Amino acid sequence: MLSQQLVNGLVLGSTYALFALGFTLIFGVLRVINLTYGFYFSIGAFVALTVAREFGATIWVALPVGALSAGVVAVVADWILLTRLRRAKAGELASLMVTLGAVLALYSLMAVFIGTDIQRFPFGFVDNTAIEFGGIRISLVQMLIVGTTFVLVAVLFLLLQRTKLGLMIRALAENEDAARLMGINVGLTVAAVSFLSGTLGGAAGVLIGLNFNAIQPFMGEHMMLRGFAVIIIGGLGDIRGALIAGVLLGVLEVLTAGYISSNAKEAVAFTILVLTLWFRPVGLFGRAQAKRA
Amino acid sequence: MSRLLSRVGAAALGSLMGASLLATPVMAQQTVTVGAIEILSGPSAAYGTAIKGGLELAMDEINAAGGVLGGKKLALIVEDSAGNKDQAVNAARKLVGRDKVPVVIGPTLSNEMFAVGPVTNDRKVVTIGTSTTAKGITELGPYIFRTALPESDVVPVTLKTAKEKFGVKTIAMMYANDDAFSKSGFDSMKAAAEQLGLTIATIETFGSKDADFSAQLTKIKGLNVDAITISALVEPISGVVLQARQLGIPDSVRFIGGNGANSPKLGEIAGAAADGLLVGSPWFIAKKGETNEKFVSTYKQRYGKDPDQFAAQAYDTMYIVAKAIDTAGAADSEKIREALYKTDFNGVMGPFTFTEGRDPASNEGVVVLSMKNGRFEILE
C-alpha cells in the first residue's frame, strides 16, 4: 500500500508542479502576481475539450492546440491588463488587484458561455486503463503527467540557461531598465514570457482535466491556492524549486491522508507554507533574493 | 409650429399619465409576487438553474389555468445567491424589504438556508426550501418549511436495500467535510448504518472541490469492504467513483450515494465506472403516473433537457405555494403559513403533506435506483 501511496503522491505532486511552472515563471520574470493564470489553465482545457469533441481531434492535436491557445490568451491578457501598470512602474499589489478583478470577470464570462456543469473528454479519448506492476497501478494519463512535468522542467531550464531568449528573459528578471539599456526588446520579451507561461498553464489544464475528468470554468480557481503554496515553498520564480516543492507537497498530502487522517490533508500545504515563510522566506530552494528565473 | 408641437406633446403626456395612473393599481392587484433565491452563477449554478426551470414551468401552467386568488397572476422574482451565504442573505433582505414578497422559495443549499432562515423567520416571511435536505433546517423557526425530503428519511431506505439485497455488511464511509449538505448526509448515513448493524471500517473525508482522492481510496482498497458510502455533491462523487475503479477497487464493491449522487451528471462523467451505484430518490424521471409523465415531457420541450430531482421538487413546490395562497385567500405571509399546514397535494413526487415540524410527512415515495451503463434504473 505504501508504494501505491507514493505513486499517488508523485502523480498528485506532478499536477501541482505542472500547474505551478508557468505561474512561477510569470512571477519570477515579470514581477507580477498574475491571478489570471488560473484562467489560462481553464481555457486550455476547454479549447482542447472543444476540438476533441467537435472535430474528433486526438490528444496529440488537442493538447498543443489547447496549450497554444492559452498562450495567445495570456499574451493578450497581459498586454491589456498590465501594460499600463508596467509603464507606471506600479507595485505588485496593483497587479494583484487588477488581475484579481480580471480573472473573476473571465471565469464568469466563461461560465455564461459554457455553463458551470463539469464536463469531460469523450470516453476513449485516451486509453485510461491502469497498468499494474508489482501491486502498483498507474494509468497512461498519469504517466503522461509525470513525464510531461519532468520534461517541461528540463526544457524550460535549458531554454532559460542556454538560449538567447533565455538570456533576455533572465536579464529582464534581473533589472528591466538595465535590460532595456543593453538593447533588449522588453516588450517582446514580456510577450514571450506571457506566451510561455500561458502555454504551460494551458497544457497543465488539458492534462489535469484529462486525469480528473472534471473540466469546468472554475477549475483553475481551486488550483491557484495550491499553485501559490508551491511557488512560495519552492522559491518565487524558481523552476526547479516548483518541481521539487510540488512533488514534495503531493507526497506529503497523500501520506497524511493515507496514514494520519484525510481531514488533515488540506492543512498540509498551508502548514508548510507558513513554516516556509517563517523560517525561509526565500523558499526552500530560493537563493538570496527571489529573483531567479 | 412649436405651439402645435407642445400642445400635441402635452396631450400625449396627459394621456400617458392618465393611462399609467389607471394602470398601476390594477397591475399591482393582478399579480401575486413570490421570491426565490437560487444559485444561478458559479460552480453550482446547475442546481439553481434546474430549480428555476421547475418553478417557472409550474408558474406558467398555474397562470395559464387562471392564476391564483380568482384570476390574479403569479409572478416570480429569482435572485442569484451564487452559492454564497452573504449574497443569499442580501437577496433575502431585498426580497423581503423591497419587493415585500409573502413567500421566499429557496435558497438552494442547506449552507445558505442556515444563513437566510434566521433572517426571513425574524421578518415572519414564509420560506420554503425545495432542495435543502440537511438536518435542522426547519428547526430554524416556525416560518421555515421544506418540500425536500430530508436525507435522513431517504438514506435508511437505500442502506436497508443494500443490506437485504446484496448482503452488505462492512462499509467504508466517505464525505466532503467542507459543506453542510454533505456532512449532514453523512451523519444520516452513519446513524442508519449503525441502526442496521453494519460495520464501519473507516471514515474518510475530502474537500468538495478536490479532484484527487487516490490516497483515501488506496486506504479503503486495503480494507476489503463490501460497499462504500459517499455523501457529497455530484462533481466529487464522479471523481471518486472513477478513481476507485482506476485504482482497482472491484466492481463488486458497490457505491451507495447520498442525495448528491442522484444526478444524471454522474453517468455522463463517470460512465461505466459508476455502474452498480445505489441511490435513494424521492423522485425519478421514469416514475409512472400521468402527472409525472406530463411534467417530464413539457420540461424537456421547454428547456431541451431532462428534468432532474431539483426541478421536480421545485415544480411541486410552486403548486403547493399557489394552493396555499388560494387557501389563505390573500397574499399574506401569516395566512399562507397556516394554509401550508393544510397542504394535501399530489404532484410529481407523490402524495405530499407537511408534518407539524414543517417537513415532508412521508417517505413512501422513495425509490432506490441503481446505475447501469451510465443511466439510473429503478432497482427491481
Q: What is the CATH number of the domain that holds B80?
A: 3.40.50.2300
- CA closest to B263 among chain A residues: A117
Q: Residue length, chain A?
A: 293
Judgement on whether residues B195 and B109 belong to the same structural domain of the protein: no
CA distance B117 to B137: 8
CA distance A270 to A272: 5
CB contact under 8 A, A213 and B268: no
For residue B67, is it left (φ>0), alpha (ψ between -120 and 50) or beta?
Answer: left
Domains detected in chain A: 2-120+127-279 (1.10.3470)
CA distance B142 to B191: 26
pLDDT band at B29 (very low <50, low <70, confident <90, very high): low
Contacts with A253 from chain B: Cβ below 8 Å: 215
Judgement on whether residues B100 and B164 belong to the same structural domain of the protein: no
pLDDT band at B2 (very low <50, low <70, confident <90, very high): very low
Residue B266 lies in a domain: yes
Residue B358 lies in a domain: no
Judgement on whether residues B175 and B268 belong to the same structural domain of the protein: yes
Q: What is the mean pLDDT of chain A?
A: 89
pTM of the model: 0.76
Judgement on whether residues B108 and B240 belong to the same structural domain of the protein: no
To the nearest 10 degrees (0 to 180), the angle between helices B214-221 and A239-255 is 40
Q: How far is CA A265 from CA A18, A159, A214, A276, B340, in A?
A: 20, 35, 20, 18, 45
Judgement on whether residues B217 and B103 belong to the same structural domain of the protein: no
Q: Name the residue type at position B122.
A: D
Residue B362 lies in a domain: no
Range of the domain at B39: 28-149+287-348
CB contact under 8 A, B269 and A120: yes
- CA closest to B264 among chain A residues: A117
The set of residues, in sequence order, having a beta carbon less than 8 Å from that of A103 and lying 6+ positions away, is: A35, A36, A38, A39, A221
Phi and psi for B355 in degrees, rounded to 5? -80, 175
CB B81 within 8 A of CB B108: yes
Judgement on whether residues B340 and B315 belong to the same structural domain of the protein: yes
The DSSP bridge partners found for residue A182 are none
Q: What is the 3-state secondary structure (H, E, C) of A4-66?
A: HHHHHHHHHHHHHHHHHHHHHHHHHHHCCCCCCHHHHHHHHHHHHHHHHHHHCCCHHHHHHHH
Q: Is pLDDT at A285 greater than 80 in this prediction?
A: no
CA distance B303 to B50: 10
Residue appearing with cell numbers 429557496: B106
Q: Is pLDDT at A286 greater than 70 in this prediction?
A: no
Q: Name the residue type at position A268.
A: V
Residue B11 lies in a domain: no
CA distance B104 to B90: 13
Average pLDDT of A177-191? Answer: 91
Total structural domains within chain B: 2
Element (H, E) at A74: helix A59-87
CB A201 within 8 A of CB A74: yes
CB A114 within 8 A of CB A217: yes
Query: Which of B147, B161, B208, B211 is CA-nearest to residue B181?
Result: B208
CA distance B380 to A143: 41
Q: In a mutagenesis test of the B interface, which of A10, A121, A225, A265 is the best target, namely the one with the most B β-carbons within 10 Å?
A: A265
pLDDT band at B366 (very low <50, low <70, confident <90, very high): confident
Residue B197 lies in a domain: yes
Q: Is B221 exposed, middle or buried, given 0-12, 13-18 or 19+ CB atoms closer than 10 A?
A: buried
C-alpha cell at A98: 487588477
Q: Report the residue from A120, A130, A266 with minimal CB separation from B248.
A: A130
Judgement on whether residues B204 and B310 belong to the same structural domain of the protein: no
Residue B23 lies in a domain: no
Residue B98 lies in a domain: yes
**Alpha helices (runs of H) in chain B, residue ranges in sequence order:** 2-30, 45-64, 85-97, 110-122, 151-166, 180-195, 214-221, 234-246, 265-270, 290-303, 309-328, 333-341
| B169 min Cα distance to partner chain A (Å) | 23
Judgement on whether residues B272 and B303 belong to the same structural domain of the protein: no
Judgement on whether residues B68 and B191 belong to the same structural domain of the protein: no
Contact pairs from chain A to chain B, CB under 8 Å: 95
Query: What pLDDT digit, counting tens, does each position of A84-131 carry?
Result: 888 888 877 888 899 999 999 999 999 888 888 888 998 888 877 788
Judgement on whether residues B305 and B323 belong to the same structural domain of the protein: yes
CA distance B292 to A7: 49
Q: Is pLDDT at B197 greater than 90 in this prediction?
A: yes
Judgement on whether residues B46 and B126 belong to the same structural domain of the protein: yes
Query: Which of B303, B328, B293, B271 is CA-nearest to residue B69?
Result: B328
| B190 min Cα distance to partner chain A (Å) | 17
CA distance B132 to B108: 6
- Which ipTM value was assigned to this complex? 0.86
Residue B168 lies in a domain: yes
Chain A stretch 105-124, residues whose beta carbon is closer than 8 A to a beta carbon of chain B: 108, 111, 115-120, 123
Q: Is pLDDT at B367 greater than 60 in this prediction?
A: yes
Judgement on whether residues B158 and B138 belong to the same structural domain of the protein: no
Element (H, E) at A171: helix A164-174
Q: Is pLDDT at B78 greater than 90 in this prediction?
A: yes
CB contact under 8 A, A118 and B41: no
The predicted structure's pLDDT at residue A84: 86
Q: Is pLDDT at A177 greater than 90 in this prediction?
A: no
